[in-house]
Amino acid sequence: MKDYNEVSFTLDKSAAKLLQESGKDLLLSTAEFDITIPNKSIVELIGTSGLELVVSLAEHKDKGFSKHHSETTFTSPMITIRGPQEAKNILLEISLKLMEATKDIRKAGVYAEAQGVTTNAWSYKLAGMKAADKKHISFQITQFGTYTIAEHARSFDDLTAHWAKDEIEVIAAHGLMRGKDSIHTFKPNEVITQAEFATLLDRLTNNEKTWEQRIAEPGARKPITREEMVVMLTRALKIDLSHSSASLGFKDEAYISQDAKTAVVYAVSKGLIKGTTDNKLDPAGTLTRAQAALVLYRVIHEQ
């Protein structure tokens, strides 16, 4: 890997203005990373001397870090991006090349280095988009800083022979679901409540609602049904359901609540939920933690 130490990409004000007026994006491409500056962000990067973006790329001194009895391994170099201090509403699209040592790209996510600390402290940001070649992960940033890709390995003692072990471990790698009663146990067959599923969606969408707020909501402790889960999911993802209407063909389709029908149609069409072996949807059935993990797994691979 080639290190890039404080490489500046610059355009004078007149050239930056012409680029902005063209309506085109700006792509900065190297063997190790790509940075796309959407046209609407160009104006935010224009400082006193024109458009300027300072980028550095460096290898990690350590292979990774340990946290909560799990291992996180860096799978890309760290990229640092700086720009005009006055820039506020930035949006940059980054693509980082993965190292050959990456074991399972599904468990790799984007991490940001905490600012204002003396030692490396990384926090998970998002899953990122996996390229078809499985050699790159792309993501968007809205603030300058240092970013990297890392692969998180998380396992639980009670999943050894469970049918959803693989999907649960991927979801846990992204911090969407955690152990229950202990950091070592997942409790895959326990029924999930409305508040618990709402919290999972908060993590998925970076909603800042707290557990205290969720548990105080009406019906929070009630086991969530399959159709309620789908309605909550489509609302959290802000899915446009105006064109979602079709016959599903399930034997118990008539038992799907009218208010949930369009959400269910969407979820089935995207493969987020599936029927039972006897061709029933079971809309009033409850949801286990393993089943919730499977839905979230399908969501992050659909996006």
Q: What is the pLDDT of residue 117?
A: 56
Helix axes 194-205, 289-302, angle to 10 degrees: 20
**What's the rounded Cα separation, in Å, for the pair 109 and 152?**
8
Backbone angles phi, psi at 193, to 5 degrees: -95, 170
**What's the rounded Cα separation, in Å, for the pair 202 and 47?**
36
Structure tokens at 291: 């089943």
- 195 with 263, same domain: the answer is yes
- 119 with 260, same domain: the answer is no
Reported confidence tier of residue 68, pLDDT bands at 50, 70, 90:
low
- 210 with 271, same domain: the answer is yes
- 76 with 61, same domain: the answer is yes
Structure tokens at 135: 């050699």
Q: What is the pLDDT of residue 60?
A: 87
Q: What is the pLDDT of residue 150?
A: 93
- 187 with 148, same domain: the answer is no
Reported confidence tier of residue 118, pLDDT bands at 50, 70, 90:
low
Q: Is the pLDDT of residue 191 over 90?
A: yes
CA 48 to chain centre: 35
Final residue before a domain boundary, out of 128, 153, 178: 153
Q: What is the pLDDT of residue 277?
A: 84
Give me the percent of the chain exceeding a pLDDT of 90. 69
- 23 with 104, same domain: the answer is yes
Q: Is the pLDDT of residue 119 over 60?
A: no
Domain extent for 70:
4-153
For residue 39, give the CATH number of its domain.
2.60.220.30
**What's the rounded Cα separation, in Å, for the pair 13 and 239?**
40
pLDDT digits (tens, 9 = 90+) for 3-26: 567 888 889 999 999 999 999 999
Report yes or no: 149 and 110 within 8 Å, Cβ to Cβ. Answer: yes
With 0-12 CB in 10 A as exposed, 13-18 as middle and 19+ as buried, what is 297? buried
Grouping H, G, I as helix, E, B as strand and the rest as coil, residue 79 is: strand
- 217 with 231, same domain: the answer is yes
Average pLDDT along the chain? 90
Per-residue pLDDT, averaged over 69-77, amounts to: 83
Final residue before a domain boundary, out of 153, 179, 214: 153
pLDDT digits (tens, 9 = 90+) for 212-238: 999 999 999 999 999 999 999 999 999
Backbone angles phi, psi at 139, to 5 degrees: -160, 165
Structure tokens at 270: 């995207």
Q: What is the pLDDT of residue 48?
A: 80
Grouping H, G, I as helix, E, B as strand and the rest as coil, residue 67 is: strand
Backbone angles phi, psi at 46, to 5 degrees: -90, 115
- 49 with 136, same domain: the answer is yes
Instruction: Please give the DSSP secondary-structure letter assigned to residue 201.
Output: H
Number of domains in the chain: 2
The contacts of residue 240 (CB under 8 Å, 6+ apart) are none
Reported confidence tier of residue 121, pLDDT bands at 50, 70, 90:
confident
Q: Of 51, 54, 46, which Cα lies nearest the Cα of 5? A: 54
- 108 with 139, same domain: the answer is yes
Q: What is the pLDDT of residue 57?
A: 92
Reported confidence tier of residue 112, pLDDT bands at 50, 70, 90:
very high
Q: What is the pLDDT of residue 303?
A: 54
pLDDT digits (tens, 9 = 90+) for 284-298: 999 999 999 999 999
pLDDT digits (tens, 9 = 90+) for 131-185: 888 899 999 999 999 999 999 988 999 999 999 999 999 999 999 999 999 999 9
- 188 with 148, same domain: the answer is no
Q: Is the pLDDT of residue 63 over 70?
A: yes
- 53 with 124, same domain: the answer is yes
- Count CA atoms closer than 13 A to 151's CA, side-chain side: 17
Backbone angles phi, psi at 33, to 5 degrees: -155, 160
**What's the rounded Cα separation, in Å, for the pair 173 and 83?**
32
Final residue before a domain boundary, out of 103, 122, 153: 153
- 280 with 186, same domain: the answer is yes
pTM over 0.75: yes
